[in-house]
Structure 1
Amino acid sequence: MKFEEFPRALQIAIFLDNMQYVKQVFTSCNDLLRKKQFCYILARHGITFELDDEMVADDEERETLQEIVNNTKLSEGFLTLARDIEVMEPKSPEDIYKAHLLDGRASAGASVDSARQNLAATFVNAFVNAGFGQDKLMTVPSEASSGGSSGNWLYKNKEHGKTSAAASLGMILLWDVDSGLAQIDKYFHSNDNPVIAGALLGVGIVNCGIKNDCDPALALLADYIDKEDSSVRIGAIMGLGLAYAGAQNEQIRGKLTPILGDTKASLDVIAFAAISLGLVYVGSCNEEVAQAIIFALMDRSESELGDPLSRLLPLGLGLLYLGKQESVEATAEVSKTFNEKIRKYCDMTLLSCAYAGTGNVLKVQHFLGQCAQHLEKGETYQGPAVLGIAMVAMAEELGLEMAIRSLEHLLQYGEQNIRRAVPLALGLICISNPKVNVMDTLSRLSHDTDTEVAMAAVISLGLIGAGTNNARIAGMLRNLSSYYYKEASLLFCVRIAQGLVHLGKGLLTLSPYHSERFLLSP
């Protein structure tokens, strides 16, 4: 502040998570263009921040700056960039698969499982055209007489395929709230529950990261939270979670917290309610939400805790403490009283979230110690411990290299449940950052004899290349698609990974870091 290095000061204020300092930077600087820069930094970080007349005196200027912080013009800016570099032309999944470059086998295998093929195409199409507002499957104008191709694509899918297809519209129209909601609206009038569920989720995706005074997402989704059909409920619950991620909105809490204590609600509904609350209150250490999730965990029966879905509850709890380090300790103590089936799992999840992006060496050692134990009775907590190593160490270059070496050791000496988590940890630690050594390791693991290791490795190839258009990874994935042409589930993973590599035609990233890797956006 003393040397008037205001942008740097702002970054440090955000790093310290101190809103008073952020205000101070605004009040000390008188240059409007610089203030715009501050707003873009805040918007990238995803902070809910209200400017007042002390920070910006002029009403018009304040409105313009608030629009930047709220990301209202994000879609406009993204499309301007796309036009400037001439990538507006929509791409189809076939453009990504490039099947013509492979031998005949791969294209012959395409007819095996058409429902899953179509589901994969939906995802690839959504990833590649994300934010561009047009594609060749969902937004094609329908010919009046023949019912058109856009309606047809939706009905080329089965149950949850329809949900994904309707929700993919939210991804294609990402950030474009007005046009997006108008196009998704027609699916609300469907008689088909999966389609309605997808539309609800799509509304959440369109609104993700955009703050709007009239709260369109809440208005549209609130009525569907208490519907009978669980898929519709989950669509609405997750829609709210995505639309208001990080907003700490009290109304959302009022709507979602009662679901956690609802004895009639099914486990999947409760699990997703916990995740949504975790997203809305991410990194806030909110006690009321934490208590609600803790009680929901305590109320689960022995058989429910055996269900993989119950693991989403500790994750929702962990999100509340994301990056907040010591603040998690009281909750971690409470987690020691849980049923032994989930106790250790919850502990690892809480710690890995609380120390995410801190580079805390002692915590990495703690996780490695957990991975060294030989388990007797089907415990699952080593998975989150492995991911915890990646989450804690992704903060800085040196720790990252060390963690990659530790993960290599776990591959050699770890038990099966650890080996299955390692590829995902590698994908997480180098997300949208394709390091050659990690790429080679994942390429080797994608041919592993254990199907789960191979699937995780394939998805992780997509994660490390997400939005980079990396030609080497794209080539690897094409070869894998002909190698696995007979295995439906592995081929599905390959397709998803191909979609991720070409995310937003190479204009989007999944990396949470910005400001020269100094700030980690929650």
Structure 2
Amino acid sequence: MATTATIEVDTKSKEMSEEDRELQDELKLLVDRILGSDPKLIPPSLEMLKFMIRTSTTSMTSVPKPLKYLASYYHQLIAGFERMKDGPVKKQLADIISVLSMGPVYPENRLNKPNDCLKYCLLGTMSNIGDWGHEYIRQLEIEIVPETYSSRMLDETIENLVKDIIKFNCEHHAEIQACDLLMEIDKLEYLPPFIDKSIYARVCLYLKSCAKYVDDIESEKILSLVADQYVRFEEYTKALIVAINLNEKTLANEIFQKCKDPVVLKQLAFIAARQLFSVDLSDLSSPDKDDLTNILNNTHLSAQFQNLTRELDVMEPKSPEDVYKTWLEPSPSPLRPSILTASAAAENIDSARQNLAASFVNGFVNAGFGVDKLLTTDDGNRWIYRNKDHGMMSATAALGMLYLWDVDGGLTPIDKYLYSKDDQIKAGALLALGIVNCRVHNDCDPALALLADFANDTNLTLRSASIFGLGLAYTSTNRADVLALLVPAIETAKTAESFAIASLACGLIAIGTCNPEIVQSILTKLVDWRDTDQLKTPHSLLGVLGLGMCFMGRKDCIETSVEALQVFPEPFCSASKTILHMCSYAGSGDVCVIQEFLNNCGEKICNNDQYSSNDSNKETKGKEKKKSKLEFDPSIAQAITVLGIGAVAIGDDVGSEMCHRVLGSVGRYGDPSVRRVVPLSVALNSISKPDLNVIDLLTKYSHDSDDKMACNAIFALGIVGAGTNNARLASNLRQLAVYHAKNPSELFMVRIAQGLTHMGKGTMTLSPWHTDRQLVDLASLAGILIPLVALIDPHALILGRNHFLLYALAIAIQPRWLLTLDENLHAVSVPVRVGQAVDVVGKAGNPKTIAGIHTHSTPVLLASGERAELATCQFEQLSPVLDGICILKRKSDDADSIVTC
């Protein structure tokens, strides 16, 4: 055995080069001197050994030779260290042992602990640790983290070491590693002193991306640090985006105060206006204060949109027939002559319902254009009277969609209908007034002046229309004077329908404010109805949705209200709590909440005598007529949970993809009432984003034998394709129109979906995400949730008398534009490169932020997932991203022509 080992050593020595043998001998000599008895030889030997280790070069995949050859002396050096007296020499030896500990020490002979690198570093000189290289720093970081977890705190020595490591990383392009270390040991406050102008952008971008994957307290801490750094380096637009994410109005006001550039202030106002984020300008000393107020009030929106439509040459109004394109619908099969075309079948089945659908389509397609072929013509009254009863209300309200955002131009054509003798038409005019003022605030308050008188009207139709109109007009304003009108409407409501409308209106006005007055009024009314049939109507859940909107995006603030809901019987109790959780975590992408929802979906609901499902209700229809008693579907809570999954997961791309897979299983194996909500939840994760897989999935659901499932899937197709003019989706909808030609409810939904797909003639979007997906507009999300919650039982609400709830989508409608303005807010056309957005977080150098580039001249329409960047060197952008309305600043006045970069 010994002979064999000797032969192996001799073989290795023969393979070793002469240079390596000399290095090995030299290292052995230095170690012998260090461990020897002559104290005068130790310091120079240590210095020489230190020099050889630091200057050794190697490839990226091999260990430096001095470390490899010194491995056999590792334990001897430790023993020598233990024998030495305290002093500078011992500390120098500790430095060398600390470096050697990360080398190839054989595990079977290793007597040291795993954290020897950190141990001997702390025993060493603690000076110039960066001279040992990146790998040594990385090893220290690895060992510091568990040490911190075990001790729960840092002593002064380790604290100083951490600061030295952070300094080294920030000076050597390793900012990401510095951030990771500080987040691991919960000492992010050490970072700001080491951030300079060259690295702050990269550090802040990385920290913002990390904030999504930590708990709320840590996320707030990270974002607050990012906001401080942006303010420190005068990146006020980026700081405002972070302040909006934090929902910190005080911080936003400070940013406006600190920014002294009047042009940047206008860009800040455009960002806040898009989010409906209120900013206090009372203490702002700026000559452009009036301009800033107008921007924050969105008074520019209609004029800028009209300019966009003229540039794109889409001013010509479209009729519903232009959208249906019935001449392109597939012809009836000769083998099935009984199948009619959709248009022919509609005339034979329910012309009033199809006229109502055409009114919605006309409103969505021509939204914001101020002109159409049905209502703004000389015989516009004739079209309204082609609808019946409550249909006339929605037909008249379509005028609000036509004049969307145009308060000055829309009041006059709508006002004449306020004097109609028909209450339905008058109610439609009231609702239209609210839609026109949606997202736009006028100093004259025309909506409040015209609608306030009807908020207490004895006619239920007029009262509901005016209250819902006020909710749309003052969304996300939290106006005390408006709420003073609407809160009593909750308290005095006699029916579930009036209660639901009043609650939704108050919830829209107080989105995310946790307004205690509204919360108290809604809960009190629900408690009063706890033992009545009013609680068992579909409208009661809309009332709870109004309560949930008060907590939109506020997460744990719902705890008190959730406890208050414990007094209600099942399944109303579970359904209500789920709605509150859905609203409070909407758009957050919170994995824990999604997991909880998924667990609830997996539970089996057992029917009992107290609550029976809709299917059993149908089987016992005769008994119900005798009892005349309303009953809840026992799986209603699970249905809302499925919708909640989509609402929460909307904030995370990975989470959305995983939810699609889970929802596929729910759609196959869930209870009937739960399956019906799956298409709506899928649509929530693909709003105005017509992915091929999503379209195919929803198209499959739209052919389901369950008419409620088919209706919801068809509407979901409209949400997915909203404002995109997607050709494949339009073709699928035309085929569905023929397939459901004899089913009036499904055909009605097909027409609505067609109107949504061609919304704004392809210039608009319903997506709540904006500013390059950095911000989610909770008001828009609330507007989308109203019809989706109503569609949990489509025949009772949307397909019944409450189809006007579809106009809640007006809150979410926004142009999907990139509009560039100069410093005087005049439109300027510049070349931009548009392509698919690429995630560049943590990537080295200056990576490309877009792929599949096409060059256009502004204004440009941006699809979901697209990003734009300037293709000219003549201007600089003041907005952090080119999305929405962006102000450009000219770099030099002497450049007459645009230079393409």
Question: In the TM superposition, what is the alpha-carbon distance from 1:221 to its structure 2 partner?
Answer: 0.6
2:264 paired with 1:34: yes
Please point out which of 282, 289, 293 is paired with 2:518.
289
Structure 2 distance, partners of 1:428, 1:157, is: 31
**1:432-482 deviation per Cα after TM superposition (whole angstroms, max 9, x unaligned):** 111221111101111111111111110000000001111111110011111
Question: In the TM superposition, what is the alpha-carbon distance from 1:20 to its structure 2 partner?
Answer: 1.8
**1:303-337 deviation per Cα after TM superposition (whole angstroms, max 9, x unaligned):** 11111111111101100001100111111111112
Please point out which of 362, 372, 392 is paired with 2:592.
362
Residue 429 of structure 1: aligned partner? 685
- Greater Cα offset, 335-344 or 318-327: 335-344
2:710 paired with 1:483: no
- Greater Cα offset, 108-117 or 319-328: 108-117
Unaligned runs of 5+ in 2: 1-230, 333-339, 608-632, 779-901
Mapping for residues 236-255 of structure 1, pairs under 5 Å: 236-255=466-485
The answer to whether the 8 Å contact 2:236/2:259 transfers is: yes
Please point out which of 390, 394, 411 is paired with 1:181.
411
- Greater Cα offset, 302-311 or 274-283: 302-311
Question: In the TM superposition, what is the alpha-carbon distance from 1:172 to its structure 2 partner?
Answer: 0.4
Structure 2 distance, partners of 1:383, 1:482, is: 30
- Identical counterparts, % of pairs: 45
Letter in 1 for 2:504: I
Q: Secondary structure at the match of 1:135?
A: coil
**1:51-91 deviation per Cα after TM superposition (whole angstroms, max 9, x unaligned):** 2343x421xx1101110110012100000000011000000
2:280 paired with 1:50: yes
2:315 paired with 1:76: no
**1:146-182 deviation per Cα after TM superposition (whole angstroms, max 9, x unaligned):** xxx2110111110111101110000100011012111
**1:71-116 deviation per Cα after TM superposition (whole angstroms, max 9, x unaligned):** 0121000000000110000000000000001226313213121101
Give the length in aligned residue pairs.
511
Question: In the TM superposition, what is the alpha-carbon distance from 1:137 to its structure 2 partner?
Answer: 0.4
2:355 paired with 1:118: yes
Residue 440 of structure 1: aligned partner? 696
Mapping for residues 48-447 of structure 1, pairs under 5 Å: 48-54=278-284, 56-58=285-287, 61-102=288-329, 103=331, 105-106=340-341, 107-112=343-348, 113-140=350-377, 142=378, 149-262=379-492, 265-300=494-529, 301-377=531-607, 378-379=633-634, 380-447=636-703
Structure 1 distance, partners of 2:265, 2:726, is: 35
**1:11-42 deviation per Cα after TM superposition (whole angstroms, max 9, x unaligned):** 00110011121122222222222211111111
Larger radius of gyration: 2
Letter in 2 for 1:382: Q
Structure 2 distance, partners of 1:396, 1:6, is: 26
Q: Secondary structure at the match of 2:764?
A: coil
Structure 2 distance, partners of 1:372, 1:130, is: 42
**1:237-258 deviation per Cα after TM superposition (whole angstroms, max 9, x unaligned):** 1000000110101112111111
Structure 2 distance, partners of 1:471, 1:35, is: 41
The answer to whether the 8 Å contact 1:48/1:70 transfers is: no
Structure 2 distance, partners of 1:88, 1:445, is: 36
Question: In the TM superposition, what is the alpha-carbon distance from 1:415 to its structure 2 partner?
Answer: 1.5
Residue 774 of structure 2: aligned partner? 518
The answer to whether the 8 Å contact 2:718/2:753 transfers is: yes
2:715 paired with 1:459: yes
- Would you tell me which structure has more helix in proportion to its own residues? 1
Structure 2 distance, partners of 1:385, 1:53, is: 45
Question: In the TM superposition, what is the alpha-carbon distance from 1:341 to its structure 2 partner?
Answer: 4.5
Q: Secondary structure at the match of 1:406?
A: helix
The answer to whether the 8 Å contact 1:318/1:350 transfers is: yes
**1:371-418 deviation per Cα after TM superposition (whole angstroms, max 9, x unaligned):** 112212332111110011001101021111111111112112212111
Residue 619 of structure 2: aligned partner? none
The answer to whether the 8 Å contact 2:589/2:650 transfers is: yes
- Would you tell me which structure has more strand in proportion to its own residues? 2
Q: Secondary structure at the match of 1:12?
A: helix
**1:210-246 deviation per Cα after TM superposition (whole angstroms, max 9, x unaligned):** 1112211111011111212211110011000000110
- Greater Cα offset, 271-280 or 341-350: 341-350
The answer to whether the 8 Å contact 1:513/1:520 transfers is: yes
Letter in 1 for 2:322: D
Structure 1 distance, partners of 2:559, 2:676, is: 29
- Greater Cα offset, 254-263 or 394-403: 254-263
Greater RCO (CA < 8 Å, at least 6 residues apart): 1
2:252 paired with 1:22: yes
2:753 paired with 1:497: yes
Q: Secondary structure at the match of 1:340?
A: coil
Question: In the TM superposition, what is the alpha-carbon distance from 1:6 to its structure 2 partner?
Answer: 1.8
The answer to whether the 8 Å contact 1:274/1:313 transfers is: yes
**1:247-293 deviation per Cα after TM superposition (whole angstroms, max 9, x unaligned):** 10111211111122216x32211111011000000110111110000
Structure 2 distance, partners of 1:50, 1:91, is: 41
The answer to whether the 8 Å contact 2:346/2:744 transfers is: no
Structure 2 distance, partners of 1:429, 1:118, is: 31
Task: Give the TM-score, by structure 1 length.
Answer: 0.96
Letter in 2 for 1:456: N
The answer to whether the 8 Å contact 1:514/1:520 transfers is: yes
The answer to whether the 8 Å contact 1:390/1:429 transfers is: yes
Unaligned runs of 5+ in 1: 143-148
Please point out which of 242, 264, 267 is paired with 1:12.
242
The answer to whether the 8 Å contact 1:132/1:173 transfers is: yes
The answer to whether the 8 Å contact 1:335/1:346 transfers is: yes
Letter in 2 for 1:466: A
Q: Secondary structure at the match of 1:332?
A: helix
Letter in 2 for 1:285: C
The answer to whether the 8 Å contact 1:50/1:66 transfers is: no
